Amino acid sequence: MAWFNLEELKKYIRRDNSVLVVWDVQEALVNSIFNKEEFLEKLKELISAARQYNVPIVYTKITPYPERFQNPAFRRNFNPGDIVKEVYPQPGDVVLNKNTPSIFVGTNFELMLRNVGITTIVFTGIATDIGVETSARHAQALGFLPVIAKEAVSSADKAAHERSLANLQKLMLVLNNKEIIERWSA
């Protein structure tokens, strides 16, 4: 059971105060998830709605530190690739290079949102149980309203993805695309 009133919180989701985050939808990650086709279909639906209702879109990209500055315990030869072509950014979208599992650490994301009065962050992307959850929790701690688009998040580990959604649902809004789009269209 959640500690908040779901219907009351939904009222705070509006197109004029929202941003859509497309978290690490890069080639290697998309190819590793358990529900690739369904995920991409639902992500495209939400991106299309954001464009229709003029909701800004911020894409994140895993950007490793220069090798010399990588923590030796975490060094690995992993190339996530580019953002997949099916949802590639368009002019006016923001691509945010980041080095950590929180969108707020080492980026200007918080300042960008506060500059224009955005208070609601709709999270999509990969991986639910790593960067999406970390960033959503961080957003909540900073006073933003995080919303998890449950049909447009995924992970390579289905069980971890489902546990993460169950945990997040106790703390914040976890909604399907229809619910989010209805709020943006109001």
Local confidence band at 74 (pLDDT 50, 70, 90 cut-offs): low
- CA torsion 185-165-137-153 (nearest 10°) is -60
Q: Does residue 2 lie within any of the structural domains?
A: no
* Residue 161, domain member (yes or no): yes
- Rounded to the nearest integer, the mean pLDDT of the chain is 94
pTM of the model: 0.94
- 30: domain CATH number is 3.40.50.850
What's the sign of the alpha-carbon dihedral 170, 143, 128, 84? Answer: positive
9 located within any domain? no
Concatenated DSSP letters for 100-166?
A: SSSTTTTSSHHHHHHHHT--EEEEEEE-IIIIIHHHHHHHHHTT-EEEEEEEEEE-S-HHHHHHHHH
Residue range 137-178, pLDDT digits in tens: 999 999 999 999 999 999 999 999 999 999 999 999 999 999
Report yes or no on 106 lying in a domain. Answer: yes
Decide if 97 is inside a domain: yes
- Note down the domain range covering 90: 17-185
Q: How many domains does the chain have?
A: 1
Give the per-residue pLDDT at 171: 93
Confidence category of residue 10, pLDDT binned at 50, 70, 90? confident
Q: Where residue 66 falls among pLDDT bands split at 50, 70, 90? A: confident
Each residue's pLDDT tens digit, 80-127: 999 999 999 999 999 999 989 999 999 999 999 999 999 999 999 999
- Establish if 171 belongs to a structural domain: yes
In a domain, 174, yes or no: yes
Decide if 4 is inside a domain: no
